[in-house]
Amino acid sequence: MEKRKILLIDDSEITLAMEKAVLEARGYEVRATPSLVEFEKILQAWKPDLILTDIHMPEAKGTDICRTLKNEYNTQDIPIVLFSSLNDEELSNLAEQVGADGYLSKANGLDAMGEKVDELVQSILW
């Protein structure tokens, strides 16, 4: 079976590297970037099955990225998951406001992140 493809954007390169490693260890093909410009370049050349975006970044807010992608013809069908250190209630509200397909909290740790991504992939993509 083909690996599910995840595009990950997070402004912290250290966090990004750890998140990428966790997801690759779970069998995903992951492209990751801390830059909005690089994110857009990757998205033009590679179609992910799922996009994970941090919310608080200096170049752009993940909520704005989500809104934009959900309104673009070529990306509107790609599921988007917001992730942040905010609590679940705040994340849930933000996800609903911007039309995200899911959310996950960094506060739960990297192991929980991998499990939650597996759950989201199962519920969103199948």
What is the pLDDT at residue 4? 93
Q: Which two tokens stand for residue 94?
A: 């933000």
Q: Which two tokens stand for residue 70?
A: 């959900």
3-state secondary structure of 84: strand
CA separation for the pair 113, 38 (Å, rounded): 23
The mean-pLDDT minimum among 8-12, 38-42, 100-104, 120-124 falls in 120-124
Q: What angle do CA 83, 88, 92 make, to 5 degrees?
A: 75
pLDDT at 1 > cutoff 80: no
Name which CATH class applies to 5-125.
alpha beta
| Cβ neighbours of 116 (radius 10 Å) | 17
126: pLDDT confidence band, cut at 50, 70 and 90?
low
Domain ranges of the chain: 5-125
What is the average pLDDT value for the chain, to the nearest integer? 90
- Please give the C-alpha separations between residue 109 and each of 52, 105, 115, in angstroms, as whole numbers: 15, 8, 10
30: pLDDT confidence band, cut at 50, 70 and 90?
very high
| pTM, rounded to two decimals | 0.92
What is the pLDDT at residue 87? 84
By CB atoms closer than 10 A (0-12, 13-18, 19+), residue 111 is exposed
Instruction: Name the residue with tokens 């959900």.
Output: 70
pLDDT at 106 > cutoff 90: no
